[in-house]
Structure 1
Amino acid sequence: MTTERADAPPPGLMQIFLAFSKVGLTSFGGGLSGWMMREFVGNRRWLTEGEFLDGLSLCQALPGVNVVNLSIWIGYRLRGGRGALAGALGMVVPALILALGVVALAGEAVRGPAAHWMLAGVAAAALGLSIQMGLRAAWRAARRGVAPAAIVAATFVALFALRLPLIWVVLVMAPLGIAQAAWAMSRRGGG
């Protein structure tokens, strides 16, 4: 995946809306953020990988649905408040209309065993996308130094090995991560 942004001017509001509509209509389950990264970093080059992962980290720490938060953040990054609105509407509205249509047309059919098998397959693919993006983010943290890698590792251990509540892990690790990043920026002369 490329990490360079194209030299093209920022996309228009309709381009933002349509791009998020495409992602919202062609993605399933937990893999949405992975699909967004592929679309906006790799294919469209609207953001660098670092920008995307920084935005994703921020959006995961906010309340609400991560991918909607991320669509707002990306839209804002590209075109300000109107871009944020275009991104959010593009992510939510077309998928909502499609979902309502499917439920209305196939309400009884989705209760059968075939639907459960299909959804299990889609969930496996979405999980693969999420793992790929998580590994990419962890690798990026490891390249930044020992302290960011230790924060990632401690967060992983706290959540998955020790099974500590997410809110407490975030309340402890987020300030540590912020403090470490601020310290690193001050050492580089960036803050």
Structure 2
Amino acid sequence: MLDAPKPAASTWEIATTFNEISLSSFGGGLSAWSREMVVARRKWMDDPEFLSAMTICRILPGANQVNLAVFVGTKLNGMRGAAAALAGLIFMPTVLLMAIAALYAVFQHSHAVQHVLAGFAAAAVAMTLQMVWKTGRTTLTSVVPVLLFALTFVLNGVLRWPLWWTLLITAPLGIGWAWRRAHRRIKAQATLEPHAVPKAGATGAAP
């Protein structure tokens, strides 16, 4: 069986998509909008692949979303895709931020401005919770992922352990579980293959 072709996109499509992500997430919620565009709309990744990419990008140095843009762009169109994703993600926000910073310096004490910023923050929290709910429904489908999620939340979110210490505990557990699961799947497929029914035309017709 031939492998399915990898998803591909033009540099322009990548740039405009990440430009839409950056502008849609004005005020926060960048991770949620990244998932909405990359997974739900463009179908460039599925939820497990997106979460794996997000995990890698959070571990590596640098801004998480910049790392993710480079990851997705490289996957879709190599180095040109990475450059297009990075440009789309940061160009317009940089221009807008410079303009907003100039305005904020003048109107920073205005109550209306403070209320607007508070509204943006609330929307960002809602988008993040929406992403957690949607991705959780597709990935937390057995006991082990739920336990790993709970352990990570307690160590990093409640006890405030540094990310590296949390990963030193949860990463080996998650990798070991995933390896055993993949090994069992491969073994099961190998067991079933000798008993598979041959396709029509695979053997010659009886004379």
TM-score class, shorter-chain normalisation, is 0.7 to 0.9
Is the alpha carbon distance of 1:15 and 1:31 closer, same or farther for their aligned partners in structure 2, counting shifts above 3 Å? same
Residue 148 of structure 2 corresponds to 151
> In the TM superposition, what are the counterparts of 1:45-64 in structure 2 within 5 Å?
45-64=43-62
The one-character-per-residue Cα deviations of 1:97-153 (angstroms, maximum 9, x if unpaired) are 11112223452113422222111111111111111212333333321x322221111
Residue 121 of structure 2 corresponds to 123
Q: Which moved more, 1:106-115 or 1:124-133?
A: 106-115
> In the TM superposition, what are the counterparts of 1:1-191 in structure 2 within 5 Å?
10-143=8-141, 145-189=142-186
Give me the whole-angstrom Cα distance separating, in 1, the residues matched to 2:50 and 2:173: 21
Give the conservation status (yes or no) of the 8 Å contact 2:28–2:121. Answer: yes
Counterpart code for 1:32: L
Give me the whole-angstrom Cα distance separating, in 2, the residues matched to 1:24 and 1:82: 19
- Gap regions ≥5 residues in structure 1: 1-6
- Gap regions ≥5 residues in structure 2: 188-207
Q: Which moved more, 1:19-28 or 1:163-172?
A: 163-172
Give me the whole-angstrom Cα distance separating, in 2, the residues matched to 1:60 and 1:39: 19
Q: Secondary structure at the match of 1:189?
A: helix
The one-character-per-residue Cα deviations of 1:48-77 (angstroms, maximum 9, x if unpaired) are 233222222222222221111111111111
Counterpart code for 1:157: V
Q: Which moved more, 1:158-167 or 1:22-31?
A: 158-167
Give the conservation status (yes or no) of the 8 Å contact 1:141–1:152. Answer: no
Give me the whole-angstrom Cα distance separating, in 1, the residues matched to 2:6 and 2:170: 37
**How far apart are 1:81 and its partner, in Å?**
1.9
Q: Secondary structure at the match of 2:9?
A: coil
Give the conservation status (yes or no) of the 8 Å contact 1:31–1:130. Answer: yes
Larger radius of gyration: 2
Is the alpha carbon distance of 1:52 and 1:9 closer, same or farther for their aligned partners in structure 2, counting shifts above 3 Å? closer
TM-score normalised by the chain length of structure 1: 0.84
Give the conservation status (yes or no) of the 8 Å contact 2:28–2:120. Answer: no
TM-score normalised by the chain length of structure 2: 0.78
Is the alpha carbon distance of 1:174 and 1:113 closer, same or farther for their aligned partners in structure 2, counting shifts above 3 Å? farther
**How far apart are 1:82 and its partner, in Å?**
1.6
| Residue identity (%) | 37
Q: Number of paired residues?
A: 183
Q: Which moved more, 1:158-167 or 1:114-123?
A: 158-167
Residue 204 of structure 2 corresponds to none
Is the alpha carbon distance of 1:117 and 1:176 closer, same or farther for their aligned partners in structure 2, counting shifts above 3 Å? same
Q: Which has the higher helix share?
A: 1
